[in-house]
A and B are shown apart, each in its own frame.
Chain A
Amino acid sequence: DAGVIQSPRHEVTEMGQEVTLRCKPISGHNSLFWYRQTMMRGLELLIYFNNNVPIDDSGMPEDRFSAKMPNASFSTLKIQPSEPRDSAVYFCASSLEPTGGGQGYTFGSGTRLTVV
């Protein structure tokens, strides 16, 4: 397996634009997570899905953020409209179960988002 695949790796956009981040989890993993990492706040859980169903979205900052998982092999995180404070590295991770089980989470390489 190629691991968790995220795209794009880097995204630079202007304030007010829509941004869509994409993730392909590991085949057979039932849980998918979106995290955001900044120097100030560390790694924050935004939302997670189990069997394609959103379970906990309490970390989604506000209505500008939305996430979907239309099938077991694809998820998107959308920010509309984007703001400079959204600049961060966004990680997608997947696992066999919500707490990771014995093998833990497998993370993608992240998308570095810069909003100017």
Chain B
Amino acid sequence: SQQGEEDPQALSIQEGENATMNCSYKTSINNLQWYRQNSGRGLVHLILIRSNEREKHSGRLRVTLDTSKKSSSLLITASRAADTASYFCATDGNQAGTALIFGKGTTLSVSS
């Protein structure tokens, strides 16, 4: 079953614009992670935010976490054509030894 759900399902923007994707989840968590998947490839880990953190940055990526609303957002600033991919959030369900559960993803298309 899906723990996280991304919104929107698809997003199309122009190069240079910012892209924001949201993730909502159902149960409490220890951490939330974001992954990117290029077409025909496996998922790649982007960033992890822990339940006691509210915001985290990595290069052009900014992740926020609101545990009271059980939601997270991923912001990609100054997007590039190479950012075209699907983005997934994953949660651990706040149980020791459990595997990550992934949402269905947001498909981002960046046109030049």
Contact = CB atoms under 8 A, between A and B. Distances in A.
Interface of A: 4, 31, 33, 35, 42-43, 45, 48, 50, 55-56, 91, 93, 98-100, 102-110
Given A42-B104, A99-B92, A104-B35, A48 B99 contact: yes
Nearest to B103: A42
Given A42-B2, A100-B33, A102-B48, A109 B41 contact: yes
Contact of A100 (B48, B104, B105): B48
A17 B55 CA distance: 49
B43 interface: yes
Contacts of A91: 42-43
A90 to B, nearest CB: 11
Q: Which bracket fits the contact residues of B?
A: 20 to 34
Contacts of B104: 42-43
Interface of B: 2, 30-31, 33, 35, 41-45, 48, 88, 90, 92, 97-105
B48 A105 contact: no
Contacts of B35: 104-105
A104 B33 contact: yes
- Specify which of B33, B88, B100 lies most central, judged by the most chain A CB atoms within 10 Å of its CB: B100
A45 B45 contact: no
A50 B99 CA distance: 10
B102 A43 contact: yes
Interface centre among B35, B90, B92, B97, by most chain A C-beta atoms within 10 angstroms, is B97
24 contacts: A4-B42, A33-B99, A33-B100, A42-B2, A42-B104, A43-B88, A43-B104, A45-B100, A45-B101, A55-B97, A56-B98, A93-B43, A98-B99, A99-B30, A99-B31, A99-B92, A100-B33, A102-B48, A103-B45, A104-B33, A104-B48, A107-B42, A107-B43, A109-B41
9 tightest A-B contacts by CB?
A104-B45, A107-B42, A42-B104, A99-B92, A43-B102, A48-B99, A107-B43, A98-B97, A109-B42
